[in-house]
A and B are shown apart, each in its own frame.
Chain A
Amino acid sequence: MKLLFERSRPGRRECLIPACDVPAASFSPSALRASAPRLPEISEIDLGRHYTELASQTHGVNKGFYPLGSCTMKYNPRINEEMASLPGFTDIHPLQPAESAQGCLEVLFETERLLCEITGMDGMTFQPAAGAHGEYTGLLLIRRYHQSRNDAARTKIIVPDSAHGTNPASATMAGFTVVSVPSNAKGGVDIEALRNAVGPDTAGLMLTNPNTLGLFDENILEITRIVHEAGGLCYYDGANLNAVMGHARPGDMGFDCVHLNLHKTFSTPHGGGGPGSGPVGCKDFLEQFLPAPRVCKKEDGSFGFADPEHTMGRVRSFYGNFLVVVRALTYILTLGREGIPEASAMAVLNANYLMKKLSGSYDMAYDSMCMHEFVMTLEKLKGETGVSAMDVAKSLLDYGIHPPTMYFPLIVHEALMVEPTETESPETLDNAAEALLAILEKAKTDPAYLHGAPHRCPIGRPDEVRAARTPVLRYDFASAENK
């Protein structure tokens, strides 16, 4: 389909802004750009149709099943969007005097209180804009903690080999070196390896629990104890909190700080890759290092700002993705005390139901019950038929289903990681199981068909090698003019 720039015709425009009602300002010629940016000139009707066409080529949760492991693609309630669109929130300047933004401050204060209760933490910042940003912020808390004790030797962060790629990348950004520990036969942290890895250079451990295999680590208390006894702190990656919220709290498992993904667990939309929100919670002894400012409640009941005593500074402007926090608060208020644990229980039930539907036919990476997601390994299938995890994933596209996460975690070969979430009905799960079983049959009879999948999408598999070798990263006006 055409690009915006290919729909552009010189002179087309709509009247959006009035002529100026005061004399023009003049700038010295050297301050002005030589020519106007080549932005599209387009009528409103064509602009509307352009995006309608783009929308028709976009799969979202509202279009179909989206069991993308580790991403918690649950339903995004409409009321959340409506609340986040209220002019009483959208039209508030972040530098308005606090007394004129009491509603915003109360949103932040209340959501912090509720999320601290859910995670077992004492304080929280909403500055981080996404999960990885939260990881970075959490690691800076750990860094500041050791600095405050003049413990300069603690330079290493321990990360299990099943961890998300953001964990080691965040550790590097926070100035640490990464030590990888292997998983044991049951998919948990290898305790002996962890014991050998910790020492006077251990700054901390980053752990996702349940982990990326969808398994709750039965040794969790021992793991956090080993790290603490070595003088390190424990960081909880909240990517998989949807499995346990309301049933177990990172704070009770021995974690000192945690980030949440409001765009996963707390139902705020993913927006094609953001904006998300990655608030970071911590135990009271770390609160002094949180980013500035924090919202506080004053004696007269009103809300204001205060800077933590030994703040790390800022990790971005203002107070974070505030309108995302409004959505999350709306969600938590809706579910409440009963709904929060019910949501995670249902997420676990749906995952186990779908796993059992498939487990007679597909190999599971681990044969135990799972939490909110499970990982299949297609290694044997690939050996027998040549059909890869990629082929199966691409074949699902023809069924209108977004594929599971592919080739992750790295420790499972030909992995497909499936996370159905609680907001899907049994019939959606049944349909997905039928599709996956039909694909398996096809793999045995006509593998070539699967190698060529998808067959019913707007495009076939793109040439990714060409994209990376000869990068075309913007529209080429010059070559278009020569055509």
Chain B
Amino acid sequence: MGSYIPSTAEERKAMLEYLGLGSMDDLFAAVPESVRVHSLNLPEGLSEMEVSRKVRALADKNVRFRSVFRGAGAYRHYIPAIVKTVTSREEFVTAYTPYQAEISQGVLQSIFEYQTQICELTGMDVSNASVYDGAVAAAEAVLMCLERRKNGIIVAGSADPQTITTIRTYCESRNVPVTVLPVKNGATDVADLSAALSDTSACLYVQSPNYYGVLEDMDALVAAAHGAGARVVMGANPISLGILKTPGEYGADIATGEGQPLGMPLGFGGPYLGFMACRKELMRRLPGRIVGETADHEGRRCFVLTLQAREQHIRREKASSNICSNEALCAMTASVYLAAMGPQGLARVAENCAAHAHYLAEELSRIPGFSLRHNDREFFHEFLTDCPVDPEELCSKLAEKGILGGLPVEGGILWCCTELCSKNDMDELITAIREVCAQ
């Protein structure tokens, strides 16, 4: 049994004597006997070697696919070696929220750098230090837009379904009505938005590239929302922002997204990273930690947690959010990733993703029955095709060959390509699909 307790039996005895106590049990004298438990139904503790064997056996029960063509909110990208090296450093791993700035400049500066990078990616003025994931970022962002007389939220139905569900949860508990717009040909129809907008609409949440990979007609959607006095929250894939137009350029008020593609492994869904950035006028509504630059008494530049008047530990029930712990180490991961890549590297990742996806779409559409659902739409690195055989069955046949196929969605398949899906991988996929369909 391990315990990580340094004190020896003699030391414990001496400490108890120092306290005038007879036994360890006396430490719990304040706990009424009626709620004491004296034995739990837990397995016996194990040595490190035994635990290692046991947990490795669990990991071995999972299937690791040779190539992955599934995204839908979680993306397998190449992670540069330096990312893991830096973010495994014990100083960063074992610190907590940098309340004491004098001994936390490392964490604070890295968050400041992260905030700057997120602003650059999104074209926004202010970023927070992260929230739990992309879905929560979207939910927190729509709540930022509420006004006394504007308390309706409009959500593009083409957004990630998990994000929509999360927004619904967060809004339902605040009694905020949510209208979800229909999806027309894989995207949002500005006429539907205009019909839904009213003078009580607080904001539109729209994701582009959306769940189907399609680029939304952002210019028209932003114009319609702003024309009705509603704000726009735009969800974006951070890799796509290496080349695609930013939320800032489209005129969105808040940008959010899932930061996982920036150096975080798939990890069966987490930990991931919710990024949030906004225009300056919304700064004091932004939830979560924010790091700012200042100086010490000798004029040395330094960084601190700031604008804390928004936060729960100061404002309690009047806080802009309840968030306390966020995803700091994931934010640092994203920051190291973006620094390692640089502007050219990030653009190359984005271009490779898009090129691979377009190549695969082209090759797939040559197979009878695999036509693109949204043929006339621009897309980034995901796209939906029809499927002439049962999608689940096709995917399980592919799985036998070590390939994780696209996600069965709406009777078709939602495919995704990243820079890791090489031409060879895609050609192999195409061959495998042809074989399955020929059977």
Tell me, yes or no, whether B149 is within 8 Å of chain A by CB.
no
Structural contact, B6 and A173, CB atoms closer than 8 A: no
Q: Does B438 contact A (CB under 8 A)?
A: no
Query: In the complex, are the beta carbons of A4 and B339 less than 8 A apart?
Result: yes
- The answer for the CA separation of A273 and B243 in the assembled complex, in Å, is 31
Are B42 and A25 in touch, CB under 8 angstroms? no
Chain A interface extent, by class: 35 or more
Q: Which of A168-196 contact B (CB under 8 A)?
A: 168-175, 177-178
The 10 closest A-B pairs by CB, nearest first: A318-B269, A88-B59, A336-B45, A271-B329, A58-B106, A103-B61, A60-B94, A94-B269, A275-B271, A273-B328
Which residues from chain B contact A263 at a C-beta distance below 8 Å? 325
A83 in contact (CB, < 8 A): yes
Which residues of A are found within 8 Å of B269, using beta-carbon distances?
94, 317-320, 322
Indicate if the CB atoms of B245 and A32 lie closer than 8 Å.
yes
Contacting residues of chain B (104-125) with chain A, CB-CB under 8 angstroms: 104-107, 109-110, 112-113, 115-117, 119-121, 123, 125
A40 to B121, CA, bound (A): 12
| Chain B residue contacts of A118, Cβ below 8 A | 40, 42
Q: Given the complex, which residues of B lie within 8 Å of A273, measured CB to CB?
A: 95-98, 107, 129, 289, 325-326, 328-329
Query: Which of these binds chain A: B22-30, B184-192, B428-436?
Result: B22-30
20 chain-A/chain-B pairs, Cβ below 8 angstroms? A37-B121, A39-B343, A54-B106, A58-B106, A66-B94, A93-B68, A94-B270, A106-B58, A164-B313, A178-B317, A220-B35, A248-B35, A252-B35, A263-B325, A269-B94, A274-B271, A316-B133, A319-B269, A350-B7, A475-B116
A106-B58, A130-B324 known; A221 vs B345 contact (CB < 8 Å): no
| Extra inter-chain contacts (5) besides given A5-B116, A336-B46, A402-B103, CB under 8 Å | A5-B113, A20-B348, A100-B65, A166-B313, A317-B270
B321 an interface residue at 8 Å Cβ cutoff?
yes
Q: Is the CB–CB distance between B135 and A316 below 8 Å?
A: yes
Interface residues of B in 1-29 (CB under 8 A from A): 1-7, 11-12, 14-16, 18-19, 24, 27-29
Question: Which A58-106 residues have C-beta < 8 A from chain B?
Answer: 58-63, 66, 68, 71, 73-77, 79, 81-83, 86-97, 100-104, 106
Q: Are A130 and B96 in contact (CB under 8 A)?
A: no
Q: Does the CB pair A37–B343 fall under 8 Å?
A: yes
Which residues of chain B have C-beta atoms less than 8 A from A58's C-beta?
A: 91-92, 95, 103-107
Report the minimal beta-carbon distance from A196 to chain B, rounded to whole angstroms: 20
A220-B32 contact in complex given A23-B355, A27-B244, A475-B116, C-beta closer than 8 Å? yes
Shortest CB distance A148–B (Å): 14
Q: Is B356 an interface residue, CB under 8 A from the partner?
A: yes
Interface residues in A322-370 by Cβ distance below 8 A to B read: 322-324, 326, 329-330, 332-343, 345-346, 348-350, 352-353, 356, 368-369
Residues of B within 8 A of A317 (CB): 73-74, 133-135, 160, 162-163, 166, 258, 269-270, 272
Determine whether A458 belongs to the interface, using a CB cutoff of 8 Å to chain B. Answer: yes
Is B319 an interface residue when CB atoms closer than 8 A count as contact? yes
In the assembled complex, the CB of A155 is this many whole angstroms from the nearest CB of chain B, namely 11
Contact with A along B302-334 (1 / 0, CB 8 A): 111011110111111111011111111110100
**Is there an interface contact between B29 and A369, defined as CB atoms closer than 8 Å?**
yes
Cβ-neighbour of A172 out of B55, B113, B319 (below 8 A): B319
Q: B102 contacts which chain A residues (CB < 8 A)?
A: 394, 397, 454, 457-462
Q: How far is the CB of A343 from chain B (nearest CB, A)?
A: 6
Task: Pick the residue among B11, B39, B40, B60 that contacts A88 (CB under 8 A).
Answer: B60
Q: Which residues of B are found within 8 Å of A462, using beta-carbon distances?
A: 101-102, 294-296, 302-304
Is the CB of A383 closer than 8 A to any CB of chain B?
no
List of B residues within 8 angstroms of A139 by Cβ: 173
Which residues of the other chain, A, contact B243 by a CB distance below 8 angstroms?
27, 32-33
Among the listed stretches A279-287, A307-315, A374-382, A439-447, which one makes contact with chain B, having 4 or more residues with CB under 8 Å of it? A307-315
Centre residue among A79, A394, A467 by max chain B CB count within 10 A: A467
| Chain B interface residue number, banded | 35 or more
C-alpha spacing A409/B307, complex, angstroms: 21
Residues of B within 8 A of A27 (CB): 215, 243-244, 354, 378
Tell which of B105, B267, B289, B399 touches A89, judged by Cβ atoms closer than 8 Å: B267
Contacts A62-B94, A143-B173, A333-B54 given; does A425 touch B345 at CB 8 Å: no
Question: Are B126 and A473 within 8 A (Cβ)?
Answer: yes
B322-A136 in contact (CB<8A): yes
Interface residues of B in 363-416 (CB under 8 A from A): 378, 395-396, 399, 404, 407
Q: A103-B61, A342-B5, A473-B291 are in contact. Are A39 and B117 (CB under 8 A)?
A: yes
Tell me the smallest distance from the CB of A254 to a CB of chain B, in Å.
9
Q: Is B255 an interface residue when CB atoms closer than 8 A count as contact?
A: no
Q: Which residues of B contact A61 (CB under 8 A)?
A: 94-95
Residues of chain A in range 450-476 having any CB-CB distance to chain B below 8 Å: 454, 457-464, 466-468, 471-475
Check A342/B3 contact, CB under 8 A, given A16-B78, A218-B30. yes
Is B80 engaged at the interface, CB distance under 8 Å to the other chain?
yes
Which residues of B sit under 8 angstroms from A91, Cβ to Cβ? 64, 76, 265-266
Binary A-proximity of B144-182 (CB < 8 A = 1, otherwise 0): 000000000000000010110110111011110000000
Partner of B342, one of A34, A42, A66: A42
Greatest chain B CB density within 10 A among A5, A58, A248 is at A58
Q: Is A235 positioned at the interface, with any CB of B under 8 Å from its CB? A: no
CA of A25 to CA of B240, assembled, Å: 13
B241 within 8 A of A: yes
A140 within 8 A of B: yes
A200 to B298, CA, bound (A): 58
Which residues of B, 267-310, contact A by the 8 Å Cβ criterion? 267-272, 283, 289-298, 300, 302-304, 306-309
Cα of A249 to Cα of B348 in the assembled complex, Å: 54
Given contacts A3-B112, A58-B107, contact A314 B346 (CB under 8 A): no
- Name the A residues within 8 Å of B303 (CB-CB): 462
A216 within 8 A of partner (CB): yes
Q: How far is the CA of A404 from the CA of B121 in the complex (A)?
A: 38
Docked-complex contact B51 and A349, CB < 8 angstroms? no
| Smallest CB separation, A114 vs chain B (Å) | 6
Q: Which of A274, A320, A424, A463 contacts B130 (CB 8 A)?
A: A274
The reply on B88 being an interface residue by CB < 8 A is yes
Q: Which residues of A lie under 8 Å from residue B74 when comparing CB positions?
A: 93-95, 317-318
Min distance, Cβ B234 to any Cβ of chain A, angstroms: 13
Bound CA–CA A175/B317 (angstroms) = 11
Q: How far is B103's CA from A397's CA once the two chains are assembled, in angstroms? A: 7
Q: Within the assembled complex, what's the spacing in Å between the Cα atoms of A38 and B134? A: 23
Complex: chain B residue closest to A108, CB-CB: B268
Complex Cα–Cα for A96 and B408 (A): 11
Cβ-based interface call for B349 (8 A)? yes
Within 8 Å CB of A107, what residues of B?
Answer: 58
The answer to whether B252 has its CB under 8 Å from any CB of chain A is no
Q: How far is the CA of A60 from the CA of B332 in the complex (A)?
A: 15
Q: Which residue of A lies closest to B322 (CB)?
A: A169
Q: How far is the CA of A75 from the CA of B2 in the complex (A)?
A: 13
Task: For residue B162, give the distance in angstroms from its CB to the closest CB of chain A.
Answer: 4
Q: Are B42 and A97 in contact, CB atoms less than 8 angstroms apart?
A: no
**Which A residue's beta carbon lies closest to that of B160?**
A317
Query: Which residues of A sit under 8 angstroms from B356, Cβ to Cβ?
Result: 20, 22
Q: How far is the CA of A462 from the CA of B305 in the complex (A)?
A: 10
Given known A107-B58, A468-B306, contact A173–B173 (CB-CB < 8 A) = yes
The distance in angstroms between the C-alpha atoms of A340 and B396, with both chains bound, is 42
Chain A nearest CB: distance from B175 CB in Å? 6
Flag A99-141 by CB within 8 Å of B: 1 or 0 each.
Answer: 0111110110000001001100000000001111101100110
What's the Cα separation between A315 and B317 when bound, in Å? 20
B106 adjacent to A34 (CB under 8 Å)? no
Closest to B284 in A: A471
Asked, given contacts A252-B37, A334-B2, A341-B40, whether A471 binds B307 with beta carbons under 8 Å apart, the answer is yes
B71 to chain A, nearest CB (A): 9
B260 to chain A, nearest CB (A): 9
